[in-house]
Amino acid sequence: MLKPGMRVTFQRPRRKEVEVEVRGPDPRGFWIGFKVENGRVNRTHLRTFKLEHVTAIMTEDGPRCVFREVL
């Protein structure tokens, strides 16, 4: 499960992969995150995504692939 403050990457169909810092869920079932640009969090650029579009979770060692069954 995602938690606020986690950094994840997600990719929606036919879009580029995006890295965000998770803010939290919204009532519609989407997750909200701030876009990470050049290693810094841009708090003026919100992104919404669904849990099934998450491809990796960032750790101290770098990105870790995620399987949908884990989330």
The three-state (H, E, C) secondary structure of the chain, written as one string = CCCCCCEEEECCCCCCCEEEEEEEECCCCCEEEEEEECCEEEEEEEEEECHHHEEEEEECCEEEECCCCCC
pLDDT > 90? residue 70: no
Identify the pLDDT of residue 63: 79
Mean pLDDT of 53-67: 84
pTM for the predicted model, two decimal places: 0.83
Identify the pLDDT of residue 1: 77
Identify the pLDDT of residue 68: 64
Tens digits of per-residue pLDDT, 1-29? 788 999 999 999 999 999 999 999 999 99
Give the span between the Cα atoms of 21 and 39, in whole angstroms. Answer: 11
Amino acid at 61: D
